[in-house]
């Protein structure tokens, strides 16, 4: 499974969507609300292509640093942005940096989704390094964290998908994985 964080990106997300379509893969995208507002056509395509869309935050803030009121505002603004484009509210959230406050569980009607494999693709432009990190650590049922903000991350995603599919892996959205 390959969720994508921090998008949509106007240059790289469409390329990722093209490659996912070619490979018959549905992914989960955790989106920034401000990017949804800026690039609604990319989000609409993501939705129309059958990918799962979740909340990341409105601006990439650490929820543990900004407090409950700001966190709730970040989530609500992102939910509204996603709804305005897709006509659907997200059911899942991946908090930036993986930082969540347990007391929010009672206030936020979203399922928190983190990851098992983080190749730190945002920290390198070397797709081969990202691929090696993913392949070294991935096992069945894992959630792989990737981003859709660079050519190297998109290329790494395609190589990971191609390689793992040849090994018998299937790629599903987090909803399909969690509800199995």
| Structural domain boundaries, residue 151 | 4-175
pTM (2 decimals)?
A: 0.94
Domain annotation covers residue 15: yes
Name the residues annotated as catalytic: 5, 147
Whether residue 74 contacts residue 93, with contact meaning beta carbons closer than 8 Å, is answered with no
Q: Residue 180 and residue 177: Cα distance in Å, rounded?
A: 5
Q: How many domains does the chain have?
A: 1
pLDDT score of 7: 73
Enumerate residue ranges in the chain where pLDDT < 50.
none
Domain annotation covers residue 137: yes
Q: What is the CATH number of the domain that holds 159?
A: 3.20.20.370
H-run or E-run covering 66 = helix 63-86
Q: Residue 102 and residue 156: Cα distance in Å, rounded?
A: 33
């Amino acid at each position: 499974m390959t969720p994508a964080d921090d998008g949509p990106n106007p240059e790289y997300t469409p390329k990722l969507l093209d490659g996912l379509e070619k490979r018959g893969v549905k992914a989960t995208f955790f989106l920034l609300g401000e990017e949804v507002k800026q690039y609604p056509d990319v989000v609409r395509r993501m939705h129309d292509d059958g990918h799962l869309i979740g909340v990341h935050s409105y601006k990439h803030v650490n929820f543990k640093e900004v407090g409950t009121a700001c966190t709730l505002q970040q989530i609500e603004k992102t939910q509204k942005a996603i709804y305005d484009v897709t006509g659907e509210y997200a059911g899942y959230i991946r908090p930036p940096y993986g930082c969540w406050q347990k007391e929010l569980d009672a206030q936020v009607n979203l399922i928190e989704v983190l990851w098992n494999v983080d190749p730190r693709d945002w920290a390198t432009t070397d797709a081969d390094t990202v691929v090696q990190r993913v392949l070294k650590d991935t096992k069945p049922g894992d959630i792989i964290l990737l981003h859709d903000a660079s050519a190297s991350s998109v290329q790494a995603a395609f190589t990971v998908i191609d390689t793992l599919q040849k090994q018998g892996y299937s790629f599903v959205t987090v909803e399909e994985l969690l509800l199995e």
